[in-house]
Structures are given as structure tokens and as C-alpha cells.
Amino acid sequence: MAEQRSTLLERFWLTIIVCGQVILAPAIAFSATYFIDFGGILGERPLLRVDLIPWILSGSLGYGILSLVLALVVGGWMPVSVAEKGGWMPVIGASRLMKDAGKIDRARTHVLTSPSGKMMQIVNREMVGGKRSLLEVHGGLQMLAAPLQILLAISPLLVLKFVPSEWLVPNRLLELSMIGYLGSLALILRTFPNFAQRYVGAASTARRFLVNVTKINWMFPVLILWLVGRIIVGFVFDMINPDVSQWQQIALEKSIIEAFLPVNVEVPETSFLDMLVALAVLPLATFTTMAVLGGGRYDLPGWLVNTESQWEDLDDSGQLLLTEGTEIDSEDDEKEDLQDNDEENEQDNGDANGETTIVKGNKGEMLAALAKAKEATESVVFEDD
């Protein structure tokens, strides 16, 4: 129980980090990008863009929640408690088969094969076997996710770059880019556990060194990554040089925001780039944090965290049984050989004794038969007289 309580504060802090990644991080990044207009220092424009506050708040909250949903759905997130009850369908009341054996097996298989479940295994292995703290493992995974986040941010633009122009439909570039983004997100989340399993130890050590030297907090790496991603995405966007009027992201965002806020919202023309950065940085950051939350417990069931050791134990026990079985078979063979020799000796002795008995038996029978024949002859003679 002491080990279980030792990660409670760390998991509570990670829960706060998830909330900050969903709500605070995009708001701070959007504010740093648009709220202060440095061109207004010497010009006639206002220094603070107060008119963009509705878009900053609503856009950051909307992109944060969307990123959380994408991380959970595409990553196949399922808590252990839900898997032990048979999956999401019985839990939400869509199925009456609560704790059905078949559904529990399928739910466990889903957890074991999903990216979220594989990340939970990696986190638990580093925490238990590597003796690392959860925050250290979390920081290492965040560092490993950084290059994948940059790749995910530019993937929709790469799709538009290499897709033949005759395939492009006017006023449908936004839909095409989102299809490319979802495909890239699914591929990255599937391959991220294999990548993290190899380098999470080195990345966790490097992150601990950076924290001790630079004293950076949990929010700073996300904001730096956001800034770097924003610069790279803007550079790639200028290289592609698409027709901005065809994207229709401005009208889309404005109509959505005005449907919930009774104000006239002004949306920046480059808001689509911020959407790409938000949907690249936030889902992977949230995905890794949720995996650390799920795997950072000492009381996880054996079917989740001890699968490899169970297979090794089975192999070892199989070899042991094979060795013992060979020894037992050899002992049985020796015993059978001894028994066969004893039976052969007994049979030989029995055969020799049997011949004597048969000979003795034949002589007795002959004497008895002669006596009976003599008596029968005498009785016949007496009757004739």
C-alpha cells in the first residue's frame, strides 16, 4: 500500500497537467501569437488586440477539447476498470452483459493491442523495473513526441503538396487536409509505442538533467514546441503557397464561434495554421500524459503488465517439464527393462518346470487310464459269467 500511495501526488499533478494542456496551453499560445501586436508600437494599430479575445478564448478551448477527444479515441484509451467490466458498452448502459467473460476477454485484448495500452505497459515497466518517477517518465515521453508533433503538423500541407492537382476539388482543401491529418495521427499513434520503448530511458534521463539544470516547468516545453511548430508550419505553408480563399477555414471558424457566442468575432487569416499546430501538439501531449496516468500505478493487473514475464515463465516451466519428463521416461524405461528381464527369467524357469510337470502328469494319467481299463474289462467278464 505504501508504493501505491507514493504515486498518488504525482498522478494528481499529472491530472492538473492534462487540464492545463487542454485549456491553458492553447490560450497562452494564442495570446502570445495574436494578443500583442508588435506592429502597433510605432504604428497606428493598437498594441493589444482586444477584439481577438473572443476568438482566443473560444478557439483555444475548442481546439483543446477536440485534441483531447482525438487523443482518447484514436489512441484507443480504455481504463483498466472499464476493461474488467467488459468494455465501454456495458459501462455506458448500451449492453446488459456486465462482466461477461467473452466481453472481458475482448476488452482486455483491446487494451493490450491499443496504443494507449502499450504506452501504459512502457510507463509501468519504467516505473517498476527502471525505478523512475512518473514525472521523469512523462518528461521523457514528451521529448520523444516532439519530432512526431512537428511531422504531424506539416502532414496536411504535405498531402496538399503531393496530391495531383486534378484530384483537388475547389473549396474542399480543408476536408482533404483533415483526412490527411487523421491518417497521419492514427499512423503516428500506432508507431509511437515502438519508438518510445527503445528510447524512453535515455529521454527520461535527459529530461531529468534539463529540469535540474534549467529549472523549466511543465508548461514551458509545450509552449516552446508550439512556437517551433508554428514557425515550421508557416515556412512550409509559404513554400506551398496555396490559395487561402479556398480553405474556407475563416468562415467555418467564425460561424461556429458566433453560434455559441453572441458577439461579432474577428478571426485572423492565418488561424488555419494555428489549428494545424494545435491539433499536432495537443493530441500527442495529452496522449502521453493519459498513458502515464494509466500506467503509473503499482496495482495494475497481471494480464496487462506481466504478459511478457508470463510467457517466459511458461517457456521455462515447459523446459523444466520436458527435462523432468525425459528423466521420468528414462527411469520408466529402465524399470520396464528390469521387469521384462524378470518376466523372461520367470518364463524360462516356468517353461522348464512346466515340461517336468507335463511329463509327470502324463505318466500319472497313463497309469490311471490303465487302471480304469482293467476294471472295465473285469466288470465285463463278470457280467458274461
Look at residue 170 and tell me if it is in a domain.
yes
All three cell numbers of 228: 517551433
Number of domains in the chain: 1
Task: Please write the tens of the pLDDT for every residue from 135-147.
Answer: 889 888 988 988 8
* pTM of the full structure: 0.72
Q: Write the burial class of residue 235 (CB in 10 Å: 0-12 exposed, 13-18 middle, 19+ buried).
A: exposed
More confident residue, 226 or 118: 118
Look at residue 64 and tell me if it is in a domain.
yes
Is 353 strand, coil or helix?
helix
Over residues 70-74, mean pLDDT: 92
Task: Please write the tens of the pLDDT for every residue from 317-355.
Answer: 455 444 555 544 555 555 555 555 555 555 555 444 444
Q: Are 48 and 81 in contact (CB under 8 A)?
A: no
All three cell numbers of 156: 496536411
The band of 49, judged by pLDDT with boundaries at 50, 70 and 90, is: confident
Using left for φ > 0, alpha for ψ between -120 and 50, and beta otherwise, residue 248 falls in left
Look at residue 360 and tell me if it is in a domain.
no
The band of 384, judged by pLDDT with boundaries at 50, 70 and 90, is: very low
More confident residue, 372 or 195: 195
Look at residue 264 and tell me if it is in a domain.
yes
Supply the pLDDT for residue 334: 54
Look at residue 321 and tell me if it is in a domain.
no
The band of 376, judged by pLDDT with boundaries at 50, 70 and 90, is: low
Q: Cα(first)–Cα(last) distance of the chain, in Å?
A: 118
Q: Are 173 and 160 in contact (CB under 8 A)?
A: yes
Look at residue 281 and tell me if it is in a domain.
yes
Supply the pLDDT for residue 336: 57
Parent domain of 73 = 2-77+114-303
Whole-number percent of the chain with pLDDT over 70: 64
Give 276-300 as a DSSP string: HHHHHHHHHHHHHHHHHHHH--S--
Look at residue 284 and tell me if it is in a domain.
yes
Look at residue 180 and tell me if it is in a domain.
yes
